[in-house]
Amino acid sequence: MVGDPTGEKLASALGGRTANALRKAFGYVTVGDLLWHLPRRYLQRGELTDLQKLQVGENVTVQAEVASVVNRRMQRRRGSILEVELTDGRSRITVTFFNQHWREKELRIGRSGLFAGQVNRYRGSLQLAHPRYHLFPDGVDDDQAAVQAFAGGIMPVYPASGPLTSWTIADAIRVLLDSLPEVPDPLPQSLLADEGLITRDAALRHIHRPKDLAEVDQARARLAFDEAFTLQLVLAQRRAQTLQHQAIPRASTGGRLLEQFDARLPFTLTSAQLAAGAEIARDLSAREPMQRLLQGDVGSGKTMVALRAMLQVIDAGGQAALLAPTEVLAVQHHRAITAMLGELAQGGRLGGAADATRVALLTGSQRTATRRQELLDITTGQAGIVIGTHALLSEQVQFHDLALVVVDEQHRFGVEQRAALVDKARTGTRPHVLVMTATPIPRTVAMTVFGDLDVTTMREMPAGRIPIATHLVPAQTRPDLLARAWERVREEVQAGHRVFVVCPRIGDGSDDEREFVDPADVGEADEDSQEAPDESPRAASVLQVTAELRQRLPDLHIDMLHGQMSAEDKDAVMRRFARVPTPREHAQGPDRDVQVLVSTTVIEVGVDVPQATMMVIVDADRFGISQLHQLRGRVGRGSEPGLCLLVTNADPQSLAGERLAAVAGTTDGFELAQLDLELRREGDVLGQVQSGRRSSLRLLEVLRDEALITRARVASQRLVAQDPDLQAYPALRAQVIAVAADDRSDYIEKS
Ligand code: ADP
Ligand code: MG
């Protein structure tokens, strides 16, 4: 960008050596890259650390006097080491310098000063390696002016990497700032005034060299606004583009299918379902394509709401597609929806109702003949409802008149996939889109991550649900409880129920489809530490647990389900697990039933087996909060109470232990989602790994910055309404394009 000094190469601003080191460590190339390497925190004015209170790993500034100085040759390597012992009269600490014996001249015994650096432990005692220091004039042992100037103002502490310490980075940034021409501001002046924001130039200078903490706050506010605003602009533009295409209104016709369906419902809809249904019915009647996110806790009855919307569009002459994340789920939706519709789904068949439609199923593993028939029904419009996995996205699939796309469990689908389906509507039109998620998303995240969707939340459960009881089973310390747990599995089965056993991995050597490693497990790794996380012991596997359980409970029918199995096998096992045997089959012996299903998280999403009453999650600490909540949502879906046992070896005091206790403590998915967010780092929430590289969501904390994100959203919509392509703001436009193109920005959709 012409006239923007942040586009300049680091090599010409800093010289080759430093520029090289920065490129190697962080991938930085331009001045802007380095300027956006923001301080992690600040050491405050005069914040001197008592020598007695030093902690390993901390960056500290101490005031002390030189007690002894030794310069010696190193034994194993060439060079010398200068060891200086400091004291404050009570405690001592060593500071060391390599190959800097000339410092001996100034670091003389008795001289006082300030020393700043990171505290390490070396051979049992604390030391500062290569500290920066400022010595008071000879004979002065306290100098408040110097304290203020050195420790003083405020010292930024930067995320460091390898040889690039916080100090080196601070030096490089200081050099840059000293000669940096004014950085232009991409935001409209009027916006700065309205929002009370300082300029980008001021913000960048203040964030690196603040006079006081108020300046830091102002700078952060401005840079965080930039992040929120740019992201919201991307979303606002995307939304504006969608709105350029019109949908065909599919108003409720007082339609026959929907009416007949409602009349046959075996239960009454909850008021949340009715409210969501009314909102969706209204959206579907408009020319503007619906873009709605339906969120509701596991079991709140979202599928019912979606099905009624589908019937509305079929009544209005259109078709609906339901996109499921897994084959198991697609098959199950097909089975459940066909069953719920009864004769209404028997279109064109003997015994079908007059206005009946058909429910087609498309999966990747179908036989060619079946698939051909389904494709035909989709093209001719015979099939009003089409359920499938990503096989639905294939070019071969052509709809007669696709009116509504329902995406179940959105988090498994990316933006391109959604786009592929949306393109299947009649030429020049867009279908209405309903996205369902059972992972309740806090408002702020919904705004940030799903900024282009309207949100409907169902906070009510169908009446008569008995909450699932969840208990921790500490496997190592309480083997008796574990034994009791397996006994309980037998009792459940003997009472005619089904039991899920979930393991973190398959264990077939191909490991492993989805061994789940929660980012929160790793904890908040300090950017300064270069320690690799521990290699944790292998988690329980489906194969091994199945074998063990077959030995322990030989009288039960135990089978397994995992992602390495063929779709046919998966489906067969699911059927044998889910079905209620006919009396005749039962008389033939229960051989064909699966009573205990040992599986990976394949069953995590949406699987509905009403007679499943118990779930045992082995090595539960390997799963994240939301995942555990999803998993246990698979049991207690019928009229019987549900039981979920979390088997773990995690220390109750650890983060993992805390997460498990939270899951055991409440069944409120919204509460857990909030907690999950608090326990994770923001970057993890948004599904991206925070590296040292520039990312577009660094200052923003999705939870803390709700007000800011809301403001940015309003402002971005206003600007896009005035100037959709941001013609008047080329710099801003470039920034928006960069964020939209950033491969990592697909977290906007995927999360
Ligand atoms: P989810 O929101 O998790 O997708 P589902 O739509 O799968 O929930 O519904 C869970 C179960 O509750 C299903 O068996 C469904 O038939 C049943 N259900 C849905 N709505 C109601 C209701 N209003 N009253 C009773 N049961 C309901
Ligand atoms: Mg569901």
> Does 711 reside within a domain?
no
> What DSSP assignment string belongs to 236-281?
HHHHHHHHHSBPPP----S-HHHHHHHHH-SSPPPHHHHHHHHHHH
- Can you tell me the distance from the alpha carbon of 399 to that of 412, in angstroms, rounded to the nearest whole number? 23
> Does 751 reside within a domain?
yes
55-81: average pLDDT: 83
pLDDT digits (tens, 9 = 90+) for 617-630: 999 999 888 889 88
Tell me what pLDDT residue 432 has. 94
641 lines ligand 1 (CB under 6 A): no
Tell me what pLDDT residue 697 has. 47
> Does 505 reside within a domain?
yes
- Kindly state the percentage of the chain with pLDDT values over 90: 36
Nearest CA, atom 17, ligand 1: 301
* Ligand 1 center from residue 299 Cα (angstroms): 5
Q: Rounded to 10 degrees, what is the CA torsion of 51, 53, 55, 59?
A: -60
Residue 535 burial by Cβ neighbours in a 10 Å radius (0-12, 13-18, 19+) = exposed
Show the tokens assigned to 176: 């840059």
270 lines ligand 1 (CB under 6 A): yes
300 lines ligand 1 (CB under 6 A): yes
Same domain for 380 and 438, yes or no, is: yes
Closest ligand to C-alpha of residue 637 is: 1
Which of residues 408, 432, 458 is at a domain's end? 458
636 lines ligand 1 (CB under 6 A): no
- Can you tell me the distance from the alpha carbon of 242 to that of 430, in angstroms, rounded to the nearest whole number? 8
388-411: average pLDDT: 88
Same domain for 134 and 188, yes or no, is: no
Same domain for 567 and 637, yes or no, is: yes
* Ligand 1 center from residue 535 Cα (angstroms): 42
Show the tokens assigned to 391: 């096989």
The 8-class DSSP code of residue 582 comes to: P
267 lines ligand 1 (CB under 6 A): yes
Closest C-alpha among 569, 618, 626 to residue 594: 569
304 lines ligand 1 (CB under 6 A): yes
* Ligand 1 center from residue 462 Cα (angstroms): 7
Same domain for 332 and 232, yes or no, is: no
Tell me what pLDDT residue 633 has. 84
Closest ligand to C-alpha of residue 612 is: 1
Same domain for 240 and 261, yes or no, is: no
- Helix, strand, coil percent values for the chain (each to nearest 5): 40, 20, 40
696, 702 in Cβ contact below 8 A?
no
Backbone φ and ψ of 539, nearest 5°: -80, 165
- Can you tell me the distance from the alpha carbon of 501 to that of 559, in angstroms, rounded to the nearest whole number? 10
* Ligand 1 center from residue 298 Cα (angstroms): 9
Closest C-alpha among 312, 325, 222 to residue 700: 222
Query: Domain count of the chain?
Result: 4
299 lines ligand 1 (CB under 6 A): yes
438 lines ligand 1 (CB under 6 A): yes
* Ligand 1 center from residue 310 Cα (angstroms): 16
CA distances from 156 to 40, 55, 147, 167 (A): 7, 19, 16, 9
Show the tokens assigned to 341: 């519709």
The three-class DSSP label of residue 174 is helix
Which residues contact residue 97 at a Cβ distance below 8 angstroms, ignoring those fewer than 6 apart?
A: 81, 82, 84, 103, 130
* Ligand 2 center from residue 298 Cα (angstroms): 7
Nearest CA, atom 12, ligand 1: 301
Q: Is 507 left (phi over 0), alpha (psi -120 to 50) or beta?
A: left
Strands 155-157 and 41-43 come out as antiparallel
Which ligand 1 atom is nearest residue 610's CA? 14
Same domain for 445 and 490, yes or no, is: no
Question: 743 is in which domain, residue-wise?
Answer: 182-244+716-751
Q: Which comes out higher in pLDDT, residue 116 or 190?
A: 190
**Secondary structure string (H, E, C) spanning 474-515:** ECCCCHHHHHHHHHHHHHHHHCCCEEEEECCECCCCCCCCCC
Tell me what pLDDT residue 529 has. 26
308 lines ligand 1 (CB under 6 A): no
130-134, 143-147, 674-678: range with highest mean pLDDT: 130-134
Which of residues 458, 485, 511 is at a domain's end? 458
Which residues contact residue 717 at a Cβ distance below 8 angstroms, ignoring those fewer than 6 apart?
A: 232, 236
* Ligand 2 center from residue 686 Cα (angstroms): 23
pLDDT band, residue 414 (cuts 50/70/90): low
Show the tokens assigned to 480: 């008796």
* pTM exceeds 0.85, yes or no: no
> Does 289 reside within a domain?
yes
303 lines ligand 1 (CB under 6 A): yes
Report residue 164 CA to chain centroid gap.
30
331-348: average pLDDT: 88
Backbone φ and ψ of 154, nearest 5°: -140, 135
Kind and range of the H or E element at 85? Answer: strand 80-87
> Does 3 reside within a domain?
no
Angle, helix 302-315 to helix 256-264, in steps of 10 degrees? 150
Report residue 51 CA to chain centroid gap.
41
Average model confidence (pLDDT) across the chain: 81
703-726: average pLDDT: 87
Same domain for 83 and 199, yes or no, is: no
* Ligand 2 center from residue 297 Cα (angstroms): 9
Q: For the domain that residue 619 is a member of, what is the CATH number?
A: 3.40.50.300
pLDDT digits (tens, 9 = 90+) for 152-202: 567 787 887 767 777 778 888 988 998 899 999 999 999 999 999 999 999
329-351: average pLDDT: 85
549-573: average pLDDT: 90
269 lines ligand 1 (CB under 6 A): yes
Examine the pLDDT at 586 and tell me if it is beyond 70. no
Nearest CA, atom 26, ligand 1: 462
Q: For a substitution probing ligand 1, which of 270, 294, 304, 458 has the most ligand atoms within 8 Å of its CB?
A: 304
Half-sphere exposure of 552 (CA within 13 A, CB side): 16
Closest C-alpha among 104, 70, 103, 105 to residue 85: 70
Backbone φ and ψ of 528, nearest 5°: -80, -20
> Does 501 reside within a domain?
yes
Q: Which of 64-78, 185-199, 415-429, 464-478 has the lowest mean pLDDT?
A: 415-429
- Can you tell me the distance from the alpha carbon of 660 to that of 518, in angstroms, rounded to the nearest whole number? 13
432-437 β-sheet, strand order: 358-362, 383-388, 319-323, 402-408, 432-437, 291-296, 454-458
pLDDT digits (tens, 9 = 90+) for 258-307: 999 999 999 999 999 999 999 999 999 999 999 898 988 878 899 999 99
Q: Which residues of 64-85 are buried (b: 16+ CB within 10 A; e: fewer)?
A: bbbbebeeeeeeeeeeebbebb
Which residues contact residue 614 at a Cβ distance below 8 angstroms, ignoring those fewer than 6 apart?
A: 488, 489, 492, 497, 498, 499, 500, 635, 642, 643, 644, 645
Show the tokens assigned to 96: 């060391």
Show the tokens assigned to 221: 């506010």
608 lines ligand 1 (CB under 6 A): yes
> How many residues are listed for the chain in this entry?
751
Same domain for 109 and 231, yes or no, is: no
422, 342 in Cβ contact below 8 A?
no
Q: Which residues of 470-495 are buried (b: 16+ CB within 10 A; e: fewer)?
A: bebbbbeeeeeebeebbeebbebbee
Residue with tokens 């916006």: 191
Closest ligand to C-alpha of residue 465 is: 1
Closest ligand to C-alpha of residue 608 is: 1
> What DSSP assignment string belongs to 104-165?
GGTS-TT-EEEEEEEEEEETTEEEEES-EEEEPPTT-S--HHHHHHHT-S-EEE---BTTB-
Same domain for 434 and 583, yes or no, is: no
* Ligand 1 center from residue 112 Cα (angstroms): 74
Tell me what pLDDT residue 691 has. 31
pLDDT digits (tens, 9 = 90+) for 498-549: 999 999 999 876 544 333 333 222 222 222 222 222 334 578 899 999 999 9
The 8-class DSSP code of residue 681 comes to: -
Same domain for 551 and 647, yes or no, is: yes
Which residues contact residue 163 at a Cβ distance below 8 angstroms, ignoring those fewer than 6 apart?
A: 21, 25
Which of residues 433, 458, 483 is at a domain's end? 458
Which ligand 1 atom is nearest residue 633's CA? 3
* Ligand 2 center from residue 499 Cα (angstroms): 19
Same domain for 588 and 447, yes or no, is: no
Show the tokens assigned to 492: 């459940």
Q: Which of 195-199, 213-217, 278-282, 346-350 has the lowest mean pLDDT?
A: 346-350
Tell me what pLDDT residue 682 has. 41
> Does 176 reside within a domain?
no
Half-sphere exposure of 592 (CA within 13 A, CB side): 14
Same domain for 504 and 636, yes or no, is: yes
Examine the pLDDT at 71 and tell me if it is beyond 50. yes
- Can you tell me the distance from the alpha carbon of 22 to that of 41, in angstroms, rounded to the nearest whole number? 20
Cα diameter, the chain: 106
Which ligand 1 atom is nearest residue 298's CA? 3
Q: For a substitution probing ligand 1, which of 293, 604, 608 has the most ligand atoms within 8 Å of its CB?
A: 608
Kind and range of the H or E element at 548? Answer: helix 542-552
> Does 165 reside within a domain?
no
Is cis: bond before 725, omega within 30 of 0?
no
11 lines ligand 1 (CB under 6 A): no
18-38: average pLDDT: 90
Q: For the domain that residue 54 is a member of, what is the CATH number?
A: 2.40.50.140
